[in-house]
Amino acid sequence: MYGPISHLAITLTEALTEALTETKLNNELSSTNSTAMNSSPVNVASSLSEFEPTIAELQQSFDRQLRLNSDESLVMLPSSLGEGYIRGIRLRDGLDLCVQDYVLKKDLFVNGQNRSSQAACASFTFCLSGQFSSTFPKVQSNITMRAGDASFYTMPYAAGTVEFKAEERIRFVDITLSPALLLSLIGDDLAKLPLALRETIQLSASEFLVHLCDTSPEISQILQKIIRCPYCGKIRSVYLEGQVLEIFALYFGQFFQSSHSLLSDSVDPQDFERLHKCREILKQNLMTPPSLAELCERVGLNERKLQQGFRELFGTTVFGILHSDRMERARQLLETQQMSIGAVSNTVGISHRGYFAKAFKEKFGKTPREYLKSFVK
């Protein structure tokens, strides 16, 4: 059981081999992984003839995939296709983790048609670097995910398309749950969730639904722990499951906190929506944020309600939120390894390099240069 994006990404490698050979690669892959994936026709936009030299190397890569333990496997991409890996981990029945990190040599467009054997699932996808675009049944517009974006999908079966760009590092983490496990983990708290999200969960076994949001700083830190997990064997699985469940709690906990705030006498329901809109405006304008007066005018709040509301809902001031979001965005940009420290500082709206380095260290415990060096390692 893989999430929709991971399923289509894995399909990318299956497609090339299936199109040019009559081997049973997918059956072999199914027998070595913890879940089965039956093959179906897949269209790859690039000419398949261009990938003929890749086929033997690709099949050898699957044949010699690393089995870290009975529930974990690692497949390296052939050098002729790109550089990187796809790692799949079964944490428990109904709970899977997939980490993907690669750079492709060519743009690829994969069309994954209906796979009836792929079990219904709910999936969290967190984009750490690069970008990819996808389409799914009953979702009207393309969904493009970039660094810092998160999504929560429910899908009764794997279908849709995904487009991967070449020459950029694509990294994302996919956490997939069975509908039964999802409902059991939420339990009676389901009624406390916003209506749209509640319906998404209730229909997870039968409807294609998607909920998009940003990756919070807290979740970003946990994702790094997952990627850099220092353990192996059973302890590794226990550690990773703990991190995954913490992400689950943080993701849904934000809605429980919001529900509590809606009932609070100190924040009016209409002001609640305006305050969240203010935060979105700040996130979208890190380089040149609006003044307090401009924020107030755009959302229809006076300055006193704006400042007081931010302290009530977010636990800090308007500037505090702006500063935190700038640092988190800077961290994400550094991890892409595609921008200089100076360019990152300017992109998040901080022109003074010394101040940027000091603020970054206060937030993450390392200067931007130290953080970049540790990440490269």
The interaxial angle of helices 318-336 and 353-364, nearest 10 deg, is: 90
Nearest to 344 by CA among 166, 80, 147, 84: 147
Rounded Cα distance, 151 and 217, in Å? 15
Rounded Cα distance, 134 and 92, in Å? 28
Sign of CA dihedral 49, 50, 53, 59: negative
Note the pLDDT of residue 97.
94
All structural domains of the chain: 4-259 (2.60.120.280), 263-376 (1.10.10.60)
Note the pLDDT of residue 267.
59
CB-neighbour burial class of residue 31 (10 A; exposed 0-12, middle 13-18, buried 19+): exposed
CA distances for 19 relative to 30, 192, 307, angstroms: 18, 48, 59
Element (H, E) at 42: strand 42-44
Residue located via tokens 């429980």: 256
Per-residue pLDDT of the chain (377 residues; tens, 9 = 90+): 555 445 444 444 444 444 333 333 333 444 444 333 333 333 333 333 344 444 445 445 544 455 555 678 888 888 878 899 888 899 998 999 999 999 998 887 777 654 444 567 788 999 988 888 887 766 655 778 888 888 887 776 556 778 888 888 899 999 999 888 988 888 888 887 777 677 777 776 667 777 777 788 788 889 989 998 888 878 888 999 999 999 999 888 776 654 444 334 455 667 777 888 888 889 889 999 999 999 999 999 998 889 888 887 777 889 988 998 899 889 888 877 778 999 999 999 998 999 999 999 988 888 999 888 876 65
CB atoms closer than 10 angstroms to residue 291:
8
Query: Which residue intervals of 122-178 are DSSP H helices?
Result: none
Rounded Cα distance, 367 and 362, in Å? 8
Rounded Cα distance, 1 and 73, in Å? 14
Residue type, 261: S
Note the pLDDT of residue 199.
72
- 213 — alpha (psi -120 to 50), left (phi > 0) or beta? beta
